[in-house]
Structure formats: structure tokens, C-alpha cells
Amino acid sequence: MKLTDEIKKRRTFGIISHPDAGKTTLTEKLLLFGGAIQTAGAVKSNKIKKHATSDFMEIERQRGISVATSVMGFEYRDLNINILDTPGHKDFAEDTYRTLSAVDSVIVVIDVAKGVEPQTEKLVGVARMRQIPMIVFINKLDREGKDPVDLLDEVEEKLGLSVLPLSWPIGMGQRFKGVYNIYKQELILFDPHGQQDEDNILKITNPDLETLEPLVGKFAAEEFLSELEIVTMVYDDFDRDAYQKGDQVPVFFGSAINNFGVKEMLDGFVEFAPSPLARQTEERVVRPEEDDFSGFVFKIHANMDPRHRDRIAFLRIVSGKFERNKFYHHVRKDTKMRFSNPTTFMAARKELVEESFPGDIVGLYDPGNFKIGDALTDGEVLHFKGIPRFSPELFRMVINKDPLRFKQLDKGIRQLMDEGVAQLFTQVMGNQKVIGTVGALQFDVIKYRLEHEYGANCDYHQVNIHKAIWLEILDKEEFRDFEKRKMKDLAYDKDEQLVYLPETAWALQMARDNYPGIKFHETSEF
């Protein structure tokens, strides 16, 4: 098959939501459609259990599961579809941001009763910034929830998205009768005890009271018809271009647990969602159909077995063809490398791959050669953009408790940071190591893993740091003054970029006011 045909066949996306909205359930139904799994309950939830947020062993449990759920591939209507896992828990937000660099579109799941929740807001914000096309699935229509018109207003307002309902619910909760697929002009009736099957789908081009009343009852029919009238009046028509730019967001309603409305959404997804897209590098735009191979690492997963410290690096293929045992150029290390055991992830089952194409995710066994963001190419020097680091929320200084094992500690910390568990800042004055994380749990995980995987012993000291701020120096003179005064608050990140670690929000504001010749960024990419 030609490269362009392979590209056309692929869809790589992520599902984002606040925990509990139904991401795991929806993923499972999608895999069932694709025949990738046979039974419900096969996809384990990798979320942190509700009651266990203070228990870091829960994270270790989660880590074990997430190897299997990091990438889930399935086939549907002749397409190879990859779902990339995006943890909803806020402590793993970094991981999700990075994963969003490897998808071409996303599905946003919203709980009809809870509406737009904080984590949805954050993640959609990142997706919007990157202009990733989005589809919204409003879930749990079998329960009472918010009025659909109000809910869509909330989505527009809080998420800043321009929505377009392509299906519309008829009642909800106890009175839930089904959804009308506006796009395909079909009515799907809900049977609370049954499976969604084709028999319950009726072609109704112009729904009116006469056709609907016998099917759903007078009250539901009237309510639905008046809502549909509003919907047709208020919202624009579907505009594929606007969707692909992330400007217009199709919305579907359903109930994941009942496998209801899911197929309609999947069919919509298959029709609209983009095939693998070009990626921006510092050097140029790389198009998938280019003959030369390129790809980047967006996630690194350590082996769960502490005796084998090897890891899996997840490579998103951007252009050309990836082949087993062929030599590729590791751009950061400026060396040649080949891979004899690359794996794909078809539905939690790992398989050796001979060749892979743009949009595919390949797992590479890695004894420690990769960092997040690394590029592999046929030889060209490329630095992929869109894998920024964001300022952590919490900071602690690392204290070595066992001076004889300094080397182990150093290596352990470096490798854990390459995995993206947390961020390391090395102070310019005194070389002290400061670790920054999004959630407090990561500190326990790091300590535990340093001890069990690297035989190193560490403690933490509290430090007063408000944020990590990446510096862009416009005026060298001004910077020399800033450097002199703020030396004790300066550090290098893992890529030797200079970072300012102000003690308070006030100090940061003062610095911004006093040094217009320096730009202060809360992300490493500007």
C-alpha cells in the first residue's frame, strides 16, 4: 500500500474528561465496537481510586495498569484507530499535556449532571491552544441532569467553544426515550434493559408530532420538537474546516454505560476526524506524506520490575515509514540507533511491528537513551515543538541521606525526570537540586522509587518557591542586573535552560515590573 493510503487509514486521538465523567467506560465501548476486546470490564480504570489519594501505592498500581492502557488500537470501518490514554487526575496533568502533543483530535466527555468540571476546563484549554479538533460527548443521559440547552451554553461559556449539536436527547433520566441523530436524521430509541441494536434505529427525516408521539409519548415528543426548533435556529451548520481548526465542536448525547449514542458518535468521529497531521518543528513543518521517516518521544514508561531498569519510550510517528532493525538518527545524542523489538499496542496486547506509519505509536525498549521530546529521523536534525513543560505547583529540595550513594541518587533522579515524573531544577548557586511536581503524591513516589529501583535514600526540605519561570532575555544589560540581584533564585532545568524560581507571586510581579527587557514565561516553550 502507498504511504498516502496508510496515512488516510489512520486516526489517533485522546479522550479527555474530569475523573468519573465516563472516559474509561466510553473507551471500553469503543474497543468493543472495534472487536479489540470481547467483554465489558476488560479495560481497567487507571484512575486513582477516590479514597486512596493519600496513598502513593495507588499510584504504583496505576502505573502498572497504565502500561497496558497507554495506547489502545482498534480497527473500525477499515480504519486503524489509536486511543491514547490521558489521565484525568490533576496530579498527572503534565502527562496528559504531553500526550496531547501526539494526538490529532480529541473527544471530550462531560457528565450531563455535573456539566463542565475543572479538569475538563484545563485540558480543553490546552487542546484549544493547540487548535486540536474536538468532539464533545455528553454522557449519562440515563440519569437526571442539566437541561441540554443550558448545558451547551455552559460548554460555550466555560470552555470557550462554539458548539454544534449533531444529536439531541429526548428526555433524560427516568424519562429518557432516546436521541435523535440530527446529522443523519435518525431516531434511536433507548431501551434501558437492552443493547443498542439496529432495530431501534428509525429513519425520520422531518420529525413531527404525528410520527413521534406513538414512539415516545406526547409529552416527550412535544418537548423534543420545541427544543429541536431552537437548536436548528440557533446553531450554524456543520463546517468541516471550522471543526478541523478547533473552532467548531460537534456534540453528541448518550450513555456510555448503556452503549447508547456511542456508535453515532464513533461514526461521526470516523467521518470528521483528521488523519495524521503535520507537525511543527523548530526547523520547519514536517508533513506525514514525506518519504523520510521522523517521529518524537512523548512518553516514557519505566518497567515495573525494579531489577530491570529498562523502559518503554512511546514514539509518535510523524512522517515516512518506521522499520524494525533499520538505523535511525537520534537527534539529541547525534548517534545512530536501531530497534529490534519495537511494539505496537493493539488493544492492550503488545505485538512486534515490522513497519509503522504516521499516526502510529511505537513502543521502543529503552535502556535510558531517551528523554521526552527526543526526535528520531532518517538523518535530518529536527526539534519537534508542542511538548512544553509547564511550571510545577509544588517544590522541594532533595537531600541525600546516604552520602556514599550519591551516584545512585543522581542517576535515579535523572532517569525519573527523563520519564517526566517531575521536573528537576539545579540551582545556579550551590548546585542544589529542587524537584517540582504538579501533585504532592509524586514526592512520595519519587522517594519510593529511588529507594527500590536505585538503592538511593533521599529526604526533602521545604523550599519557598512560587513558580518556575522560564526567561527570555531581550535586553542583556538588564539581565546582568537581574542575574546579580536574583542569583539565589536562578536555576537550570534539565535542558540547561535558565529558570527563575521566585519565592512569591509578589516577587514575580516586581520582577516583571522592574525588568521589561526580560520576558517571564510559565512554560518552557515560547
Binding residues for GTP: 17-24, 85-89, 139-142
Binding mask 47-66 for ligand G4P (x = CB under 6 A): x-------------------
Minimum CB separation of residue 112 from ligand G4P in Å reads: 9
Binding mask 229-268 for ligand G4P (x = CB under 6 A): --------------------------xxxx----------
Q: For residues 436 and 430, is the Cβ–Cβ distance under 8 A? A: no
Q: Rounded to an integer, what distance in angstroms lies between the CA atom of residue 58 and that of residue 152?
A: 35
Minimum CB separation of residue 172 from ligand G4P in Å reads: 11
Q: Which of 45, 200, 211, 457 binds ligand G4P (CB under 6 A)?
A: 45
Cell of 524: 518552557
Residue 415 binds ligand G4P, judged by CB under 6 A: no
Q: Which of 6, 7, 13, 23 binds ligand G4P (CB under 6 A)?
A: 23
Q: Which of 7, 14, 17, 265 binds ligand G4P (CB under 6 A)?
A: 17
Q: Rounded to an integer, what distance in angstroms lies between the CA atom of residue 483 and that of residue 487?
A: 5
The number of beta carbons lying within 10 Å of the beta carbon of residue 488 is 12
**Which residue number, 19 or 274, has a Cβ lying nearer to ligand G4P?**
19
Collapsing DSSP to helix, strand or coil, 197 comes out as coil
**Which residue number, 256 or 398, has a Cβ lying nearer to ligand G4P?**
256
**Which residue number, 288 or 439, has a Cβ lying nearer to ligand G4P?**
439
Provide Rg for the chain, Cα atoms.
25
**Which residue number, 101 or 120, has a Cβ lying nearer to ligand G4P?**
120
> HEC profile for 217-247?
CHHHHHHHHHHHHHHHHHCCCCCHHHHHCCC
Residue 140 binds ligand G4P, judged by CB under 6 A: yes
Pick from 41, 72, 50, 47: which is nearest to 62 by CA? 47
Residue 20 binds ligand G4P, judged by CB under 6 A: yes
**Which residue number, 15 or 372, has a Cβ lying nearer to ligand G4P?**
15
CA distances from 316 to 269, 290, 376 (A): 21, 15, 10
Strand duo 105-111 + 134-139: pairing: parallel
Binding mask 84-123 for ligand G4P (x = CB under 6 A): ----x-----------------------------------
Stretch that binds ligand G4P, among 23-31, 130-138, 428-436, 488-496 (CB under 6 A): 23-31
Residue 24 binds ligand G4P, judged by CB under 6 A: yes
> HEC profile for 170-228?
ECCHHHCCEEEECCCCEEEECCCCCCCCHHHEEECCCCCHHHHHHHHCHHHHHHHHHHH
Q: Rounded to an integer, what distance in angstroms lies between the CA atom of residue 2 and that of residue 472?
A: 44
The number of beta carbons lying within 10 Å of the beta carbon of residue 142 is 19
Stretch that binds ligand G4P, among 19-27, 153-161, 308-316, 423-431 (CB under 6 A): 19-27
CA distances from 101 to 216, 217, 298, 414 (A): 44, 47, 7, 23
Minimum CB separation of residue 299 from ligand G4P in Å reads: 19
Query: Residue 461: what are its φ and ψ, rounded to 5°?
Result: -110, 140
Minimum CB separation of residue 20 from ligand G4P in Å reads: 4
Minimum CB separation of residue 256 from ligand G4P in Å reads: 4
Minimum CB separation of residue 195 from ligand G4P in Å reads: 14
Cell of 257: 454505560
**Which residue number, 82 or 255, has a Cβ lying nearer to ligand G4P?**
255
> Residues within the annotated binding site?
17-24, 85-89, 139-142
Minimum CB separation of residue 199 from ligand G4P in Å reads: 21
Residue 70 binds ligand G4P, judged by CB under 6 A: no
**Which residue number, 41 or 403, has a Cβ lying nearer to ligand G4P?**
41
Quick one: angle between helices 23-33 and 262-272, nearest 10? 70
Q: Rounded to an integer, what distance in angstroms lies between the CA atom of residue 42 and that of residue 56?
A: 24
Q: Rounded to an integer, what distance in angstroms lies between the CA atom of residue 422 and that of residue 409?
A: 15
Collapsing DSSP to helix, strand or coil, 292 comes out as coil
CA distances from 11 to 70, 163, 171, 243, 361 (A): 16, 22, 33, 15, 11
Q: Which of 139, 377, 423, 437 binds ligand G4P (CB under 6 A)?
A: 139
The C-alpha angle with vertex 35 and arms to 180 and 352, in degrees rounded to 5, equals 140
**What residues between 310 and 339 interact with ligand G4P by CB under 6 A?**
none
Collapsing DSSP to helix, strand or coil, 463 comes out as coil
Residue 29 binds ligand G4P, judged by CB under 6 A: no
Minimum CB separation of residue 169 from ligand G4P in Å reads: 12
Q: Rounded to an integer, what distance in angstroms lies between the CA atom of residue 251 and that of residue 345?
A: 29
Residue 25 binds ligand G4P, judged by CB under 6 A: yes
**Which residue number, 86 or 415, has a Cβ lying nearer to ligand G4P?**
86
Q: Which of 63, 130, 143, 287 binds ligand G4P (CB under 6 A)?
A: 143
Sites of contact with ligand G4P (CB under 6 A): 17, 19-25, 45, 47, 88, 139-140, 142-143, 255-258
